Structure 1
């Protein structure tokens, strides 16, 4: 009997292969042929699901965005009213940062996609969505701390962008403990102590 192929599982295998190729060699090397070889599949098998290089990259980029969103939703569902808002804010921001092996690999691929989007029309729409999504989350994080300021939202998003870039390009110099410390210091600076030495409401 012919082998029954699960289309969803096969697409997942191909997208995982895209991530590995991009992380190792960059977007330029994520051709249909190279991805097929990485996945251990015939080129025709990959073409059955993805017609072009652009379609393949777009699918992979959207899958990355979906994974980050899923993590954020799980984090949201775990938050209790009694949780420290500052700690919650720090943890949510950390979902975008290279704080462990899995997230370091993810941010390396994310940066490759973002850089490629400058010249790859197929990736531009996804890159804009990722850009806007980060700023939406940054705004929600700050609202939880009692801060409603579009400038501060952009500043937090820019901080995360910078730490992602630095932590990915210079992992030996900008390590996870320092990344966490920078984020915490920034969030604490938004929550100055009042005269009774207590945090402002929400901080």
Structure 2
């Protein structure tokens, strides 16, 4: 009797194979054929789940968002009396530099964003990425504001937009110059930024 395939597990296995290829060699090398080879599957097996190249790209970036959001939600609901430290931890959930997996996810996110800028088929997914990050940045800014860390004249939307720009810039730095950044360095950069915008 043939072994029953867990479709979710198989899709995850294929996406993980794609992640490894993109991290090593970029999206241009992540063809369905190469993904099948990396996953140890036939091309037909991969195409059963992802008939077109774009299908796996969209699912893969959705998986990255899902992982980001899970970490964001976990820290956002962390019961911590120190609001400033909580904001630092929340930002570090996006600017990740503590594990190889976290660095890989940021590398893939950055490569996808660059590819999507040049391909209209992926503009919606790219824009969703910024919306997710902006929404999270706004949550951090609102938390700081509600606890008296920001001036009452400070615009929440403008502060959230500026924080989003800072986060994207730091993500880019940690991916491009990973040898310069460890968790302690990222922590210091985030604290320096927040000290610059808070009044406590």
TM over 0.5: yes
Q: Deviations over 1:167-203 (max 9, x none)?
A: 11111224432221111111122222xxxxxx3xxxx
Number of paired residues?
A: 191
TM-aligned CA deviation for residue 73 of structure 1: 1.4
Q: Deviations over 1:100-132 (max 9, x none)?
A: 122111100110110110123332211111111
User: Equivalent residues in 2 for 1:162-177 (5 A)?
Assistant: 162-177=169-184
**Alignment partners' CA distance in 2, 1:122 and 1:31:** 17
* Residue of structure 1 in register with 2:46 after alignment: 46
Give the SS at the match of 1:117: helix
* Residue of structure 1 in register with 2:187 after alignment: 180
Q: Normalization by structure 1: what TM-score?
A: 0.89
* Residue of structure 2 in register with 1:23 after alignment: 23
Question: Which residues of structure 2 form unaligned runs of 5+?
Answer: none
Q: Deviations over 1:52-79 (max 9, x none)?
A: 11111111011110111111112233x2
* Residue of structure 2 in register with 1:13 after alignment: 13
* Residue of structure 2 in register with 1:89 after alignment: 87
**Alignment partners' CA distance in 2, 1:76 and 1:170:** 28
**Alignment partners' CA distance in 1, 2:27 and 2:165:** 24
In angstroms, what is the RMSD of aligned CA positions? 1.3
**Alignment partners' CA distance in 2, 1:23 and 1:11:** 18
